[in-house]
């Protein structure tokens, strides 16, 4: 690139900076959990529409808070994608201070992974790239994928399943980190599994013998799962939470649910562990 071209890129980034800052601040304030990011997704959509992008998909690949926006000029040229994320994590606190504390409005979810920054940077980069391409009259396409629910189900998985990245030449993202670097990162393959247990309810103090606790079944399952850790490869990760285990101790729970993430370095490894 020539000095003039570098200056054009710098100018485009500077012009996009107010939008980047707005997205980051507003998504931080919303701090919405996976698949609840209605307002956070809309923040990105407002800025993209204002910058001249067309919203081509909402609720993309069956994920309610996912979207696709794009801009194109000419009949050929590179096709570049960007992957903003914007969901928060539960229980992290959302006050803008260096300790765990709820926001002044009582909100306890927060952006511990910096998705407010990640999303703002990706959408801002797309806006800046569009400006440079317009300035240089460069043909091509810029597409922004609103990647909802990255912390849980991951909208990108369903987008990939539906072939929505197949026509791209490159697709870019970034993540907040203690260092500034570029590279090609590979993460673990994962299966996201929910296991449900059904029993029979009864009053735990009056006639528990008439009940069959779904929670007991879940606990036995977890015990077996943890014993299995001795017999999996070092690359395997198994982690879970109890999503439902009853409502009150004096009622035998007739329903319980466990959610498990199973990870390994390859898809074949994940499938073998899952089976």
- Global pTM reads 0.81
Position 269 confidence tier, pLDDT thresholds 50, 70, 90? very high
Instruction: Check whether 62 has a pLDDT greater than 90.
Output: yes
- The sheet that has 189-198: what strands, in order across it? 189-198, 255-264, 237-244
How many CB atoms are located within 10 Å of the residue 148 CB?
A: 32
Cα separation of 162 and 170, whole Å?
17
Tokens 């919303």 appear where?
A: 30
Query: Is residue 55 very low, low, confident or very high in pLDDT (cuts 50, 70, 90)?
Result: very high
- Average pLDDT, integer, range 73-96: 93
Q: Quote the pLDDT of residue 211.
A: 96
Q: What pLDDT was estimated at residue 119? A: 97
Instruction: Determine the pLDDT at residue 130.
Output: 98
- Tens of pLDDT, residue by residue over 211-240, are 999 999 999 999 999 999 999 999 999 999
Q: For the purposes of burial, counting CB atoms within 10 Å of the CB of 101, is it exposed (0-12), middle (13-18) or buried (19 or more)? A: middle
Res. 160: pLDDT tops 90: yes
pLDDT above 80: residue 132: yes
| pLDDT 10s digits, 180-199 | 888 777 788 889 899 999 99
**Residue 141 phi, psi dihedral angles, 5° rounding:** -130, 140
Q: Which residue carries 């009582």 as its tokens?
A: 106
Residue with tokens 């012009």: 15
Question: What's the full length of the chain, in residues?
Answer: 275
Share the mean pLDDT of the chain. Answer: 94
- Tell whether the model's pLDDT for residue 2 goes beyond 80: no
For 70, the token pair is: 């794009």
Give kind and range of the element (H or E) at residue 145: strand 140-146
Give me the domains of the chain, ranges plus CATH numbers: 3-172 (3.40.630.10), 189-274 (3.30.70.360)
Q: What is the pLDDT of residue 264?
A: 95
What confidence category does residue 137 fall into, taking pLDDT thresholds of 50, 70 and 90?
very high
Q: To 10 degrees, what angle do helices 3-30 and 38-50 make? A: 150
In the structure, what pLDDT confidence band is assigned to residue 40 with cuts at 50, 70 and 90?
very high
Where residue 81 falls among pLDDT bands split at 50, 70, 90? very high
């Amino acid at each position: 690139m020539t000095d003039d071209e570098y200056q054009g890129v710098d100018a485009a980034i500077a012009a996009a900076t107010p939008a980047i800052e707005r997205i980051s601040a507003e998504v931080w304030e919303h701090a919405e959990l996976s698949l609840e990011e209605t307002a956070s997704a809309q923040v990105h959509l407002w800025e993209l529409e204002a910058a001249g992008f067309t919203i081509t998909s909402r609720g993309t690949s069956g994920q309610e808070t996912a979207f696709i926006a794009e801009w194109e000029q000419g009949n050929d040229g590179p096709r570049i994608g960007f992957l903003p994320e914007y969901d928060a994590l539960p229980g992290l606190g959302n006050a803008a201070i260096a300790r765990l504390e709820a926001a002044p409005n009582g909100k306890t979810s927060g952006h511990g992974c910096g998705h407010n920054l990640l999303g703002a940077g990706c959408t801002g980069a797309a806006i800046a790239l569009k400006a440079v391409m317009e300035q240089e009259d460069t043909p091509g396409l810029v597409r922004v994928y609103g990647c909802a629910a990255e912390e849980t189900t991951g909208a990108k998985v369903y987008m990939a399943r539906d072939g929505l990245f197949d026509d791209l030449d490159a697709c870019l993202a970034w993540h907040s980190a203690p260092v500034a670097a570029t590279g090609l990162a590979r993460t673990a393959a994962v299966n996201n599994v929910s296991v449900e247990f059904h029993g029979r309810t009864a009053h735990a103090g009056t006639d528990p013998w008439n009940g069959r606790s779904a929670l007991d079944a879940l606990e036995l399952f977890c015990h077996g799962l943890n014993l299995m850790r001795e017999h999996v490869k070092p690359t395997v990760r198994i982690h879970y939470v109890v999503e439902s285990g009853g409502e009150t101790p004096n009622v035998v729970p007739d329903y319980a649910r466990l959610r498990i993430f199973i990870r390994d370095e390859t898809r074949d490894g994940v499938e073998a562990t899952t089976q």
